[in-house]
Structure 1
Amino acid sequence: MKVFDHGVCWENGDLKKTSDTDTIKSGRKKTMSYKILNNHNKSKDETHLKLKFDYLTSHDITYVNIIQTARASGLKRFSIPYVLTNCHNSLNATGGTINEDDHVFALSAAKKYGGICVPAHQAVIHQYMREEMAGGGKMILGSDSHTRYGALGTMAIGEGGGELVKQLLGYTYDIDYPEVVAVVLRGKPKDFVGPMDVALTIIKEVFENKFVKNSIMEFIGDGIDNLSVEFRNGIDVMSTETTCLSTIWQTDDKVKKYLEDHGRKDDYLYMEPEEKAYYDRALEINLDEIKPMIAVPFHPSNVYSIEEFKENTEDIIQLIEKNAKEIYSSSNLEINLKKSINERGQLEVDQAVVAGCAGGSFENIAAVRDILNGKFVGSKGLTMSVYPASQPIYLDLVNKGIVSDLMKSGVTMRSAFCGPCFGAGDVPQNGGFSIRHTTRNFPNREGSKPSEGQLSYVALMDSKSIAATVVNEGVLSSAESLDFSFEEREHIYDNSSYKARVFNGFGKEDPSSELILGPNIKDWPEFQPLKRDLLVKIASFITDDVTTTDELIPSGETSSYRSNPFKLAEFTLSRKDPGYVERAKKIAETLNNKESQDFIELLEKLDFFEKNVSIKYDIDFKSLTYGSGIYANRPGDGSAREQAASSQRVLGGVANFALDYATKRYRSNLINWGIIPFIVKEIPEMNIGDYVYVPDILKAIKNNKKSIEAYIISNKVKRIILGVGNLTEVEKEILKKGSLINYYNDN
């Protein structure tokens, strides 16, 4: 892989360094990205974009909150096509009726407001959008971080629910014009290499150095011709793990045929960059050189070639254990992955899964069948599950005999379901090692509950090498180690199941239709507007390099409570800092209980502060916003789930402090819920229980002040300089009003 950490132009099918001002200015408008963004920009300013999307999409652990927020903000109808899928809580795994109640709510909302409702088990969210909605030159916004349809010519972005609410109410998605990074693909991958291998190779290169953070990755080059559309989709969906904003790919006759086969030939648009298109940075990848890869626990960027892993198994396992001990240092967990190494020094896995928007494609599953080819999963403890990403895929797999062949090999066939990606399906046993063609392997996912002594290890691999591992009786293996051949098959798309089940009410809203609210579906509490000054008591202090949204609000069984803000909030930081919730609750109750020890302590701290600063501040509770805050070095990697922010707000959270925010979407989520996203230049000298006083915060936000003077109050008073980064005018107003809901109600 070649890395170009400087501006380049695309000339005659090659990258050339340039610093010429005129070339750069004209070249920015010659990318595919510019054309799509410009066509969707409602602002006359090309540097500060105000985007309107063509479609929206959500699934059943995000759409309830979004619709409830929009309702509270004055929603009358869905003004653009909004697809509601039921693919995350479709197993009703918690017991009781609450998951199915959400699905019934979705259908009632689609009828009332004019939406599109995809029933449970029909499709995972992103496969439905690929098959039925995505097309050339479009933009799609989804409340799931893996909203990526670039290979079909659609620029798709995953965001928190607040950004979808804005679109539903006719407002825009406001961002500064992003940097665009070229990803040039050359050559052709070997038969034993799959899309996950290419994706992990890219993630390994760019994640740690933030090479594409908040940028658009534009895939170009003659190597694209050598990839099927499904192969491209498999790379594209994993681009989320690079922390890029979105992707777009050049299109060709293969994309044209894909859309024609899906009954949407008019959605095809030929796309490629113009000559001398300018890119801020670039990668050039030789697909011939890609090897089968593995992302070991606990991040998709923790990547080795499988060959390297097999040659250094004990050393790498030791590193994983070391990492686990650091992550779970406060938990009494047994960490012993060495037990999975056999007497020949080989790692033996316990579980294999191919699933979801990354693994569940027709080609991936057909490849598993061809590699197994009559071999058996066996009865010694290894399990294997396969989840086709949609009913149309499943139907074709049945028609071609692939399902029966897999079942005869001992593979368990599942329905379209996203659960394995976040810990609600095929959870491995405690201490088990699972290899998965899914999207993520973060800490505290896939069933890990450190506070209850439960820990699972998940590694990401391509379906081909997963099948090879199963053939080798669970010994971790690369598909390169086997002699096999693939049958030539053409995927036949038949959407009869969609026609039979999907409700499409767009443009046919019925205001008289009633929403059906199950007992777990609750409205949002009221959020108070921001006052003149801010006083924050630190309720959690986290110094990990990155804090994922899974750690801020766990996935798995908590997903069932995302339609109930109060119940869900009880899980906030539960697997990272179990004491946070009670601390935050006590802070929220302080001003309401003036006899409490907490209130007495607060008065003592304020008195101590006033005696130890040279400037006298008029601290008045009537003009003071008081609440809890957390510090984390780089919070927000991973999921788009807005509940990582809203749960803090429900508990009285008013601020985050960070060196940086891992993703734009998490920072946006904080703002939309009235939580101020402070930035500090270095890890501050503060601890849990310390206070941060920020005088004149309202004025600082109004004036977009770059340096905000504040004070840490502990056993001494320390001056600290805070920032909030660039805020749009709308973001300023949202923070001042105290939440997106308040902002819309006041407008």
Structure 2
Amino acid sequence: MTIVEELLNAKAGEAVIREVDLIYAHDGTVPLIIESFRKTFTRVRKPDKAFIFFDHVYPAPTVKIANLQREIREFAREQGIRIFEGYGISHQVVPEEGLLEGAKIIIGADSHTPTLGAFGVFAVGMGATDTAIALGLGKTWFKVPESVRVNLEGRLGKNVMAMDLMLHLIGLLKDFDMNYKALEFFGGLDLSIDEKMTIANFSVETNAKTAVLDNGTFSGDGDYLREVTIELGQIEPLVALPHHPSNVERVEKVKRKIDQVFIGSCTNGRLEQLRRVAEILEGEEVSVRTFVGPASRRIYLQMIKEGIMQRLIDAGVTVLPPGCGPCLGRHMGVAGDGEIILSTTNRNFKGRMGSPNAEIYLASPVTAAVSAIYGEITNPEDVL
């Protein structure tokens, strides 16, 4: 069986109903979930397995959002659901706070819920109506997805990160229909959990339904739609050009002046990634406005303990509170008309970070840090 088939205990293509071990949502999706929930249900079936995170637009930047967040708090109190405010991004906080313990099947009201596949679980994002039904019933239905197997061999180079690997993979799969398919990763997984979460997170941008990384307990001997083998040592620093993550090019071939750098998000806001950024920026000074957004307050506190915060601030970086920050273009670094943004996030669609007339390039934290110094997209292989 494939990993997904093992986790759901069913063959690809089958429609199954399964109990859900964990349901979570965030401040951006809960209002619609509440509206849908109240049409059919009065009580959440398993409130101890449901969690709400304030991470997308927090603290509230407008009266409208403040009022919506008040409604969320009222719903949570009514239903006995725990809210995490100021903890950081949901996908990061769920494992940090031990909420994954004993969980195998997880749904989240956010498209990047498959980030948790780094821990060997079946995690999928769902819309407001489906999430509301799961809250009311404690279970949901799935069509078991077919899987694509990705074999990783060797090791990444010193200036190459998991983000580069995933930009490479999305380029390989750009002409392959990944709709409602799963990505399963094997071999070459002696990476940190921080980098593994980047792999699972960015898998969504191939249009995959979910992603799972082998943790050594799965057979992985099922029937796969396709098998891809990647030699990690051959991957170079890459960048996604506007306006899609699959529009990939080698960094050395892209020379573009930039106005802003953002390093963070649920893709690349974890401790190992921010350590690398601090190493590069130590003793240097950024030449464009540069924002760093830790994925959680635990990471934020560790940055202080390790001196990462001091090095970033000394280099001229603005460190944001834990959360999604400017990734979705709502606050804390919105892109203006005609601006060129280099970001370590997962999406660079028109208008994603603010103005539809801005251009967003995606790259690894290493490439982003080097580029922040030089004020243009720069190949780290040339300067590190």
TM range (shorter): over 0.9
Deviation string, structure 1 residues 64-88 (Cα, Å, up to 9, x no partner): 1102211221221342511111111
1: CA distance between counterparts of 2:40 and 2:71? 18
Residue identity matched to 1:448:
S
Letter in 2 for 1:234: T
1:117 Cα offset (Å) = 0.3
Report the equivalent of 2:251.
306
Could you tell me which amino acid in structure 2 is paired with residue 138 of structure 1?
K
Counterpart of 2:186 (choices 216, 220, 233) is 220
Alpha-carbon contact 1:143-1:158 (below 8 Å) kept: yes
Q: Confirm or deny that 1:128 pairs with 2:34.
A: no
- Deviation track 1:465-500 (CA, whole Å, cap 9, x = no partner) reads 0111122x21211221223xxxxxxxxxxxxxxxxx
**Which residue number corresponds to residue 145 of structure 2?**
178
Relative distance call for 1:179 and 1:135 in structure 2 (3 A) is farther
Match of 1:368 in 2: 277
Do 2:105 and 2:123's aligned partners in 1 also have CA atoms closer than 8 Å?
yes
Distance 2:252 2:18 in 1: 45
CA distance in 1, matches of 2:347, 2:74: 32
Secondary structure of the residue aligned to 2:16 is strand
2:218 is aligned to 272
**CA distance 1:295–1:135, change in 2 (3 Å):** farther
The 1-side partners of 2:239 and 2:210 are apart by: 24
- For 1:47, the aligned partner's letter is E
Q: Which residue matches 2:231?
A: 286
**Aligned equivalent of 1:235:** 199
Q: Residue 230 of structure 2: SS of its match in structure 1?
A: strand
Question: Which residue pairs with 1:49 in the alignment?
Answer: 16
Match of 2:260 among 326, 341, 351: 351
Contact 1:368 1:463 (8 Å CA) reproduced: yes
**C-alpha deviation, 1:51, in angstroms:** 2.7
Question: Any residues of structure 2 matched to 1:728-747 within 5 Å, and which?
Answer: none
Do residues 249 (structure 1) and 213 (structure 2) align?
A: yes
The structural deviation recorded for 1:49 is: 1.6
The answer on whether the counterparts of 1:291 and 1:305 sit within 8 Å (CA) in structure 2 is yes
1:480 match: 381
Report the 3-state secondary structure (helix = DSSP H, G, I; strand = E; otherwise coil) of the residue aligned with 1:376. coil
Greater Cα radius of gyration, structure 1 or 2: 1
Gaps of 5+ in 1: 1-28, 252-269, 310-345, 450-454, 484-747
Indicate yes or no: 2:89 matched with 1:112. no
Q: Distance in 1 between matches of 2:69 and 2:323?
A: 14
Paired residue for 1:600? none
The structural deviation recorded for 1:154 is 1.4
Q: Distance in 1 between matches of 2:122 and 2:144?
A: 14
Instruction: Give the conservation status (yes or no) of the 8 Å contact 1:32–1:218.
Output: yes
Seen in structure 2, the aligned counterparts of structure 1 residues 480 and 49 have a Cα distance that, compared at 3 Å, is same
Runs of 4+ deviating beyond 4 Å: none
2:330 counterpart (413, 418, 424)? 424
Cα shift readout 1:638-665 (whole Å, capped 9, x = no counterpart)? xxxxxxxxxxxxxxxxxxxxxxxxxxxx
- Asked whether the equivalents of residues 356 and 416 of structure 1 are also in contact (C-alpha less than 8 Å), the reply is no
Change in 2 beyond 3 A, CA 1:399/1:421: same
Distance 2:327 2:204 in 1: 14
Alignment of 1:148-547 (within 5 A): 148=114, 149-170=116-137, 172-210=139-177, 212-221=178-187, 223-225=188-190, 227-251=191-215, 271-273=217-219, 276-309=221-254, 346-378=255-287, 382-425=288-331, 426-449=333-356, 455-471=357-373, 473-483=374-384
* Structure 1 residue corresponding to 2:27, chosen from 60, 68, 74: 60
Q: Which amino acid aligns with 2:212?
A: I
CA distance in 2, matches of 1:86, 1:193: 32
**For the Cα contact (< 8 Å) 1:90–1:99, is it kept in 2?**
no
Q: Deviations over 1:2-42 (max 9, x none)?
A: xxxxxxxxxxxxxxxxxxxxxxxxxxx3x22212111xx7x
Query: Structure 1: which amino acid aligns with 2:5?
Result: Y
What's the secondary structure of 1:428's corresponding residue? coil
User: Contact 2:12 / 2:145 at 8 angstroms: preserved in 1?
Assistant: no
8 Å contact from structure 1 (residues 78, 113) kept in 2: no
Which residue of structure 2 lines up, in the alignment, with residue 77 of structure 1?
Answer: 44
Looking at structure 2, the residues matched to 293 and 463 of structure 1 have their Cα atoms a distance apart, in angstroms, of: 11
Secondary structure of 2:52's aligned partner: strand
Change (3 A) 1:163 1:238: same
CA contact (8 A) 1:36 1:137 kept: no
Q: Say whether the 8 Å CA contact 2:45–2:138 is kept in structure 1.
A: no
Percent identity of equivalent pairs: 29
Tell me, what secondary structure is at the counterpart of 2:267?
A: helix
What is the deviation of 1:172? 4.4
Distance 1:414 1:122, change over 3 A: same
Aligned twin of 1:22:
none
- Which amino acid is the alignment partner of residue 89 of structure 2? V
Contact 2:12 2:144 in 1 (8 A): no
- The one of 140, 149, 157 equivalent to 2:106 is 140
Give deviations 1:335-374, integer Å, cap 9, x for gaps: xxxxxxxxxxx42111100121012101111111101111
| CA distance 1:420–1:209, shift in 2 (3 Å) | same
Paired amino acid for 2:282: N
> Runs of 5+ in structure 2 lacking a partner?
none
* Cα distance in 2, alignment partners of residues 283 and 399 from structure 1: 41
Matching residue's letter, 1:386? V
Measured in 1, the distance between the counterparts of 2:303 and 2:35 equals: 38
Question: Structure 2 counterpart of 1:214, which letter?
Answer: Y
Question: What is the DSSP-based 3-state SS (H/G/I as helix, E as strand, rest coil) of the residue aligned with 1:49?
Answer: strand
Q: How does 1:575-724 map to 2 (within 5 A)?
A: none
Secondary structure in structure 1 of the residue aligned to 2:366:
helix
Structure 1 equivalent of residue 7 of structure 2: 36
- TM-aligned CA deviation for residue 55 of structure 1: 0.6
Q: Secondary structure at the match of 1:434?
A: strand
TM-score, scaled relative to structure 1: 0.49
AA aligned opposite 2:371: T
Contact 1:50–1:173 (Cα < 8 Å) also in 2: yes
Amino acid corresponding to residue 127 of structure 1 in structure 2? Q
Q: Which has the higher contact order (CA 8 A, sep 6+)?
A: 2
Instruction: Name the structure 2 match of 1:697.
Output: none
The aligned amino acid for 1:92 is A
Instruction: Give 1:45 deviation, angstroms.
Output: 11
Q: Do the aligned partners of 2:5 and 2:12 also contact (CA within 8 Å) in 1?
A: no
Deviation readout 1:363-391 (Å, 9 max, x if unpaired): 1111111011110014xxx1000000000
Query: Contact 2:6–2:218 (CA<8 Å) still a contact in 1?
Result: no
Question: Residues 141 and 157 of structure 1 are in contact (CA less than 8 Å); yes or no, is this contact kept in structure 2?
Answer: yes
8 A Cα contact 1:427 1:447, kept in partner: yes
Q: Residue 149 of structure 2 aligns to a residue in which SS?
A: strand
Q: CA deviation at 1:166?
A: 1.4
Query: Could you say if the C-alpha distance between residues 478 and 46 of structure 1 is closer, same or farther in structure 2, counting changes exceeding 3 Å?
Result: closer
2:344, 2:100 → 1: CA distance? Answer: 23
3-state SS in 2 of match to 1:112: helix
Q: Distance in 2 between matches of 1:86 and 1:137?
A: 22
